[in-house]
Every structure is written in structure tokens, then in C-alpha cells.
């Protein structure tokens, strides 16, 4: 499930409109709709605001994991705050490091 799908699910459970959720976090209805549709991803600022609004964790919004892990939350937020191209670069680097480690 994507970030947008989780946001849509949380909003449906709360019985709110896209407009009311958007207004609550400081964006307009169109911007919020784009989050749900996966056209845009919310920045760390808005992910935090959405987590507070829906009374959930940023980890749940980002990953679908309901339990908040002890470490890594800040790193995940930083990762998702990067542009898509920078995220891909980091994932490629991780793959290369893992391949290198497995070959050792």
C-alpha cells in the first residue's frame, strides 16, 4: 500500500473530506488530493502534521508499520523528504553495498 492509499484509508476512517484534512494541515484540497492519488508526496513537515491529525505515527504513513520502532524514524523522514531521484540514488547505493558485502 502506498502513502497515498494509507492517507485515503485514514481519511475514510475519520469520515473527513479531502478539503477538511488539507485545511487542517495547511494545504489546499487539490494539494491534499494529489497526495492521496500519489501524484505528489507530502514533505516531512506535512507527514508529521498528517500523523498528528490522524493520531498515528509518521512510520505508519510512510511504511504501513503500526508499531513505532525505537530507531530509524528520523532517518525515514529524512529519506522521504528527498527528491525521487535522490531516493533512487540512495537505494542504488544500498544495493551496491549489499552486493559488495555478500561477495566478501
Which cell numbers hold the place of 33?
Answer: 488530493
Domain ranges of the chain: 3-103
User: What angle in degrees, to the nearest 10, is found between the helix axes of 73-81 and 44-53?
Assistant: 130
Number of Cβ atoms within 10 Å of the Cβ of 61: 22
Which cell numbers hold the place of 81?
Answer: 523528504
**pLDDT 10s digit of each residue in the chain, 104 long?**
899 999 999 999 999 999 999 999 999 999 999 999 999 999 999 999 999 999 898 989 999 887 655 556 667 777 888 888 998 999 999 999 999 988 87
| DSSP letter (8 states) at residue 38 | T
Q: What is the pTM of this model?
A: 0.64
Question: In the chain, what is the straight-line distance between the N-terminal and C-terminal CA atoms, in Å?
Answer: 35
Query: Which CATH number among 4.10.490.10, 1.10.260.40, 1.20.210.10, 3.30.70.3460 corresponds to the domain 3-103?
Result: 1.10.260.40
Q: 49: closest CA among 65, 35, 68? A: 35
Amino acid at each position: 500500500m502506498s502513502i497515498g492509499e494509507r492517507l485515503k484509508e485514514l481519511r475514510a476512517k475519520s469520515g473527513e473530506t479531502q478539503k477538511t484534512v488539507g485545511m487542517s494541515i495547511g494545504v489546499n484540497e487539490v494539494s491534499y488530493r494529489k497526495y492521496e492519488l500519489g501524484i505528489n508526496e507530502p514533505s516531512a513537515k506535512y507527514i508529521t502534521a498528517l500523523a498528528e491529525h490522524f493520531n498515528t505515527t509518521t512510520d505508519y504513513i510512510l511504511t504501513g508499520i503500526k508499531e513505532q520502532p525505537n530507531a530509524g524514524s528520523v532517518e525515514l523522514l529524512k529519506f522521504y523528504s528527498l527528491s525521487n531521484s535522490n531516493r533512487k540514488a540512495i537505494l542504488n547505493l544500498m544495493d551496491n553495498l549489499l552486493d559488495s558485502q555478500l561477495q566478501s
